[in-house]
Structure 1
Amino acid sequence: MANPNEITPHLFRTEYSKIVAVLCRSFDIKHIEIAEDIASETFLKASEYWAIHGIPDHPAAWLYTVAKNKTKDYFKHLSVIEKNKQEEIRTAEKEFQTIDFNTQNISDSQLEMIFTICNPLNSQETQVSLALQILCGFSIEEIANAFLSKTETIKKRLQRGRESLRTHHFTIDSLNEQDIHQRLETVLTTLYLLFNEGYFSRTNNFLIRKDLCLEAMRLTLILTENQLTNTPKTNALLALMCFQSSRLDARINDEGEAILFDEQDEMLWDKALIEKGNYYLVEACQNNDISISKYHLEAGIAYWHTSGSKEKWQPILTLYNQLVIIEYSPVTGLNRAFAFSKVYGNKKAIREAEKLNLITNEYYHGLLGHLYSKINTDKAIHHFGEAIRLTKSRSEKQTLQKQLNLLIP
């Protein structure tokens, strides 16, 4: 029998946002707190009931039924709602009968929800933060990690964003082309951050969180299935996710330690996902007049990583050279330096890496530890030590310590 303590967090990640989106579609995003309360109470009941009676055969359907019943109970207790809110809630109650958790309605609800939250009246940072919390179930800590920001900053940003949702009376309406053009970039950024947190998690001591990767891919796939959102950028992002996800099982060992790319067992790579990545990358490049985005470049890099070609590093470096021009980030700079080492050797790569001067970044020190390991053992030991000191991830500490131990006599 499955353990409820293990399955409930996974379902919370995948189903909580679906319940909130469908309920908000029925009675207005202004009442999002009500929808969130109903969803939370649904999972509370699940954790209590399943612990005693076991997990049902169809847990997601069980959750949807409970959510509908709790929504019905909510409307029965309108007397506790302030008088000036009763009329609009009664209007919403008329829509209650249309609440349906079928696959199409869930997809439509989540699509509309994410575009509603990504409203240009808020800053892009606020839009992404709201989407990560409401639609993707991120904690404040996870959002702070995604933005490399302080938790207090994110908390205030979310408070302002939620107030804006109420004040401006945003509604979840059918999408129109103007909304798409205004908001799609932020939507893609949100899904990109969601996938990245799963692919290389900085929280909860897990190096990889497949549930986040799968959720990001599912939501991006929804975008490719809608005529208005099926753009070259969307396809490029999905291609990137497919390529990266194809190597998930090869990236960690049984002890939870990271396996470096050169040491991965290619037999563990998912060939079907690589083929899908190829398909979506071709779709992303169909139009001759497309604007090459960072998603195209990153998907191209991921393609070469899964190609099996021994001559991959020069084209990978060329793509990184383009990427740092389009959108520089510390991670991009460090990855470029690693690719540079594969083409021009560690000595020249060290000079490239040290130009970045990211002395408070654990990946910077980890890279320099790797590059110095066959050139200057003392410097390699120093940088691996700094990386271990700076990282918050237990699995990363284990991997770095293993590399450090190889250098100590």
Structure 2
Amino acid sequence: MPLQHCGGILFMEENELIPHLFRTEYRKIIAVLCKLFGIEHIEIAEDITSDTFLRASELWGIKGIPENPTAWLYTVAKNKTKDYLKHHSLFSQKIAKDIQHNTITADEIEIDLSGKNINDSELAMMFAICDPCINAEAQIGLALSLLCGFGVEEIADAFLTNKEVIYKRLTRAKQKLKTQCIQIAGPGANDINNRLPLVLVTLYLLFNEGYYSASQNSALRRDFCVEAMRLTLLLAENDTTAKPEVHALLALMCFHASRFEARLNQEAEIILYEDQDETLWNRELIDRGRYYLNLASRGTDVSKYHLEAAIAWWHTNKEDTQEKWEGILQLYNKLLQTAYSPIAALNRTYALAKANGKEQAIAEAEKLQLNSNHLYHSLLGNLYTGLDNKRAVQHYQTAIGLTKSRTVKAALTQTMNRLMY
């Protein structure tokens, strides 16, 4: 159903609007209520927010969509919150005590759903769920659930597991935050030093979950990437958290996101970098990436995000020159010294092939022995192509067997078939 724009408000049919608003507004209401109640009452915040959307689905089908659906949701959420506080001890035991106005009533308490408080609350939630008491996988799951509004089924698909596993993982993570008495508060100086690196890792991994999606249904989850960029932008626009490494991460995301339209064909299959249509690249995002990379250059520290952003910047120039690949190779060398990872080492071998030839790259790649990784065999298939096509096919076959993504299987099969026939 096409969208209609009227009076500055975007209208959709009910079956489209409620899921859209759930994605965009659920996380905002959750963040504000969690900050108000505290992490120990996170389920109450989730229940009130879910009940708000349930009420919308019940009434809008009968009475029609209200003139301002977002304002309607906020009003109902506020009323449900006040009604809950009236009838439960949470108000007297926590809310009134915390704001040091024991004479205030539940009706008088302000439930601030202004843009500024929503941003502040989401920022505070980000730092809360990235506490080192829970592992990185659980942090990403909580970020997707609480900060991005994704359902358990979507998260399960992203992690190639079932809903029960994700539900238990999220439940354990929330319980851990409660037992550790983690506070939901705006980031202070100690948080910047101790917690910001964990926040950035979570956002980096969240973006990668979308950009290199392992989902069986999609090789690119743009919605994950967009949410990661939105949350990173919150950090970049906050005076306390607008650090060079934040700008570098945002630059990296902009450069990668600029190629979204060129990465998949009409069948949603991956198009390799060298085969992408450069005219489909988003030049506005590339310019934004350059802007944030310039901001990131202020200061003396060089993080892994700086180096990866610089590598991604080189890739915004499609021209296949020796200077380009030498530049990328040197950046990978620095990256491996700064933050070694097997995947970074694997990616370096592609730049090595472009700069110094395939034979040298194959020798370096095979030292890594990432035999259970489909990317390893896919790269070796690429490197052996033209030198030993039989071995290239063998590596492609192994890669196809290792990946669980249907779209990646299709792309690898197509590449392999070109060598066989």
Give the alignment's TM-score, normalised by structure 2.
0.84
Q: Contact 2:136 / 2:202 at 8 angstroms: preserved in 1? A: no
Conserved in 2, the CA contact under 8 Å of 1:132 and 1:190?
Answer: no
Are 1:296 and 2:306 counterparts? yes
Q: Does 1:64 align with 2:69?
A: no
The partner residue of 1:379 within 368, 391, 404 is: 391
What SS does the corresponding residue of 1:392 show, helix, strand or coil? coil
CA RMSD of aligned residues (A): 3.1
Q: Secondary structure at the match of 1:406?
A: helix
Q: Structure 1: give runs of 5+ residues left out of the alignment.
A: none
Give the whole-Å Cα distance in 1 for the aligned partners of 2:55 and 2:352. 54
1:189-214, Cα deviation, whole Å (9 max, x unpaired): 11111111122222251122222222
Q: Structure 1 stretch 29-38 or stretch 56-65: which is displaced more?
A: 56-65
How far apart, in 2, do the equivalents of 1:107 and 1:178 lie?
20
Code of the aligned partner of 1:305:
H
Match for residue 178 of structure 1? 190
* 1:243 aligned partner: 255
Q: Is the 8 A contact 1:220 1:238 kept in 2?
A: yes
* Whole-angstrom CA distance in 2 between matches of 1:121 and 1:367: 36
**Does residue 323 of structure 1 match 2:326?**
no
Change (3 A) 1:274 1:27: same
* Superposed displacement of residue 74, structure 1: 3.1
Which one is further off, 148-157 or 234-243? Answer: 148-157
Q: In the alignment, what sits opposite 1:23?
A: 33
Q: Map 1:94-109 onto structure 2 (within 5 A).
A: 94=106, 97-109=109-121
Deviates more, 1:337-346 or 1:35-44: 35-44
Which is worse superposed, 155-164 or 362-371?
155-164
Deviation at 1:125, TM superposition (A): 6.1
Distance 1:233 1:77, change over 3 A: same
1:88 to 87, 93, 98: 93
Distance in 1 (alpha carbons) for counterparts of 2:266 and 2:248: 32
- The residue type equivalent to 2:407 in the other structure is S
Distance 1:277 1:15 in 2: 27
Rounded Cα–Cα distance in structure 2 between residues aligned with 1:313 and 1:95: 64
Q: 1:135-191, CA deviations, whole angstroms, 9 ceiling, x for partnerless residues?
A: 245667887898999999877664443223222333323432122211100111111
Moved more, 62-71 or 301-310: 62-71
> What is the alpha-carbon distance in structure 1 between the residues aligned to residue 240 and residue 193 of structure 2?
9
State the distance in 2 between where 1:308 and 1:54 align: 51
Aligned-pair CA distance for 1:123: 5.6
Matched residue, 1:119 = 131
Which of 368-377 and 251-260 deviates more? 368-377
Deviation at 1:119, TM superposition (A): 2.9
Partner of 1:354: 366
1:212 aligns with 2:215: no
Contact 1:4 / 1:55 at 8 angstroms: preserved in 2?
A: yes
C-alpha separation in 1, matches of 2:254 and 2:153: 26
Pairwise CA distance, 1:262: 1.0
| CA spacing shift, 1:94–1:74, aligned 2, 3 Å | closer
Once the two structures are TM-superposed, the CA of residue 68 in structure 1 deviates from its matched residue by 2.8
Q: TM-score, normalised by structure 1?
A: 0.86
Residue of structure 2 aligned with 1:286, choices 270, 284, 298: 298
Q: 2:289 maps to which residue?
A: 277
Q: 2:243 aligns with which of 219, 228, 231?
A: 231
**3-state secondary structure, aligned to 1:368:** helix
One-letter amino acid of the counterpart of residue 179, structure 2? T
C-alpha displacement of 1:72:
3.7
Q: How many residues align?
A: 402
Letter in 2 for 1:390: L
SS in 1 for 2:270: coil
Relative to structure 1, the CA distance from residue 163 to residue 348 in structure 2 (aligned partners, 3 Å threshold; closer, same or farther) is same
From the superposition, tell whether residues 122 and 397 of structure 1 become closer, same or farther in structure 2 (CA, over 3 Å): closer
Amino acid at match of 2:110: T
Partner of 2:204: 192
**Structure 1 stretch 3-12 or stretch 384-393: which is displaced more?**
3-12
Of residues 277-286 and 57-66 in structure 1, the stretch that sits farther from structure 2 once superposed is 57-66
In structure 2, the CA distance between the partners of 1:152 and 1:186, relative to structure 1 (3 Å rule), is: farther
How many Å apart are 1:408 and its aligned residue? 2.0
Q: Secondary structure at the match of 1:338?
A: helix
Tell me whether 13-22 or 312-321 shows the greater mean CA deviation.
Answer: 13-22
* Residue pair 2:40, 2:181 contacting (<8 A) in 1 also: yes
1:71 deviation in Å? Answer: 2.5
Contact preservation (8 Å) 1:324, 1:332: yes
Counterpart-to-counterpart distance in 2, 1:362 and 1:55: 48
Which runs of no fewer than 5 residues in structure 2 stay unpaired?
2-11, 99-104
Moved more, 248-257 or 159-168: 159-168
Letter in 1 for 2:45: A
Distance 2:344 2:163 in 1: 24
Residues 105 and 358 of structure 1: CA distance in aligned 2, closer, same or farther (over 3 Å): same
> In the alignment, is the contact (CA less than 8 A) between 1:128 and 1:189 conserved in 2?
no
Any conservation in 2 of the 1:120–1:182 contact (CA below 8 Å)? no
Asked if the contact 1:240–1:302 (Cα under 8 Å) also holds between the matched residues in 2, the reply is yes
